[in-house]
Amino acid sequence: MLEQLKDLHTQALDELNKVNNPRELELWRVRHLGKKSSLTKILRSLAALPLEERRKGGAQANEIKRALESSLEEKEKLLQEALLTSPLESQRLDITLPGRPLPAGRLHPTTQILKEICDVFKNMGFQVIEGPDVEWDYYNFEALNIPQHHPARDMFATLWIDAGMGEKARLLRTHTSPMQIRLMERERPPIRAIVPGRAYRYEATDATHESMFYQVEGLAVDKGITLADLKGTLFDFCRCIFGEEREVRFRCDYFPFVEPGVEVAIGCSACDGAGCRLCGYSGWIEILGAGMVHPDVLARVDIDPKLYSGFAFGLGVERIPMLRYGIDDIRLFYSNDLRFLRQF
């Protein structure tokens, strides 16, 4: 029996060495110290032995039981420590590692140039106002001297929301000029305001034309405003944006809501005026339409054209970064190509 007890002890310790987690430890406890374990069976069978054998066997069996119990306790402690330290080990932070770079976003080139344009005009005393993208026919056309069936409607290929409903029809504004009327309806002169915003046209796109693009409308109404004020303001603007050297062309144009009407073009930066795809081989890129507010438009919003005069302009926003950076296709702005956008 003594031999058998020794073997039991050695085998139990061997198995304990291989135990790796609390669950295995519990199984080990049941196998070697539980009610059905060989050790417990031996302890129970002692009663049937002669006194001397019972004494020796009992002492030995109890000693092994205590030894196994204390080995069990030790192992329990070891496993618990390992349970605490192993996540600390595996999740240890190496504070000497360089940090991961955080990709920084940036403003869209249109947003950047809009901010720049607004700053130039704010410095000249203009306030910045916004208006709705969905407009009434009345504001987009009628109040701007472009009644139903006026041929000038063909200048603005329109995206209609309710076509054929006259003044009450809604549309996506084809320019920011309707805001001239909204501004003059709610404010009395002196007025000096710019309106940045989107415009929409139902037209085939090409290198300089998009179906959605940005404009900045400008309006100044006061006593004694002349074409010279318009010219001075726009030349100053062009100098601020393009520098002293760039050529600026100012010439007549027609818009029903101004009289006289003008357009401003800038010498093409891609070809230095020699002619290329970007400027339609003319050497110039038109950036804005402008003029003196038509007396009929002033009268329509109850501003007396005999007392007051004003100028207005509508600037194509994307054409400015195109000229400045030699971007040869406006469609790049809204095609969401990060390789293009990340350059700004």
- C-alpha 23/C-alpha 21 separation (Å) is 5
Of 184, 214, 223, the C-alpha closest to 118 is 214
> Dihedral of the CA atoms 9, 10, 14, 20 (nearest 10)?
20
Applying CB under 6 A, what is the total number of residues that bind ligand FA5?
A: 24
Contact of 162 with 169, CB cutoff 8 Å: yes
Stretch that binds ligand FA5, among 3-11, 41-49, 210-218, 222-230 (CB under 6 A): 210-218
Query: Residue 260 or 273: which CB sits closer to ligand FA5?
Result: 260
Which of 279, 288, 323, 327 binds ligand FA5 (CB under 6 A)? It is 288
Give me the least distance between CB of 318 and ligand FA5, in Å please.
Answer: 6
Query: Residue 29 or 175: which CB sits closer to ligand FA5?
Result: 175
Contact of 210 with 334, CB cutoff 8 Å: yes
Contact positions with ligand FA5 (CB under 6 A) in 252-271: 255, 258, 261
Which of 287, 297, 298, 327 binds ligand FA5 (CB under 6 A)? It is 287
Angle, vertex CA 252, rays to CA 132 and CA 298, nearest 5? 45
Contact positions with ligand FA5 (CB under 6 A) in 305-324: 312-314, 316, 318-319
By CB under 6 A, residue 137 contacts ligand FA5? no
Give me the least distance between CB of 257 and ligand FA5, in Å please.
Answer: 6
x/- binding map, residues 215-234, to ligand FA5, per CB under 6 A?
Answer: x-------------------
Query: Residue 75 or 263: which CB sits closer to ligand FA5?
Result: 263
Query: Residue 154 or 302: which CB sits closer to ligand FA5?
Result: 154
Name the one residue in this structure whose structure tokens are 């030894």: 67
x/- binding map, residues 163-202, to ligand FA5, per CB under 6 A?
Answer: ------------x-x-----------------------x-
Give me the least distance between CB of 162 and ligand FA5, in Å please.
Answer: 22
Query: Residue 28 or 156: which CB sits closer to ligand FA5?
Result: 156
259 Cβ contact list (under 8 Å, min separation 6): 291, 292, 294, 295
Which of 57, 131, 178, 291 binds ligand FA5 (CB under 6 A)? It is 291
Cα distances from 150 to residues 145, 146, 221, 257, 276, in angstroms, run: 9, 6, 26, 12, 34
Which of 56, 150, 182, 209 binds ligand FA5 (CB under 6 A)? It is 209
Q: Which stretches of the chain are DSSP H helices?
A: 2-18, 22-33, 38-45, 51-90, 109-123, 137-140, 178-186, 227-242, 295-300, 319-325, 338-341
- C-alpha 47/C-alpha 139 separation (Å) is 112
Packing angle, helices 38-45 and 22-33, rounded to 10: 20
Of 141, 148, 298, 310, the C-alpha closest to 219 is 310
Give me the least distance between CB of 226 and ligand FA5, in Å please.
Answer: 15
Report the interface residues with ligand FA5, using CB under 6 A.
175, 177, 201, 203, 209-210, 213, 215, 255, 258, 261, 286-291, 312-314, 316, 318-319, 330
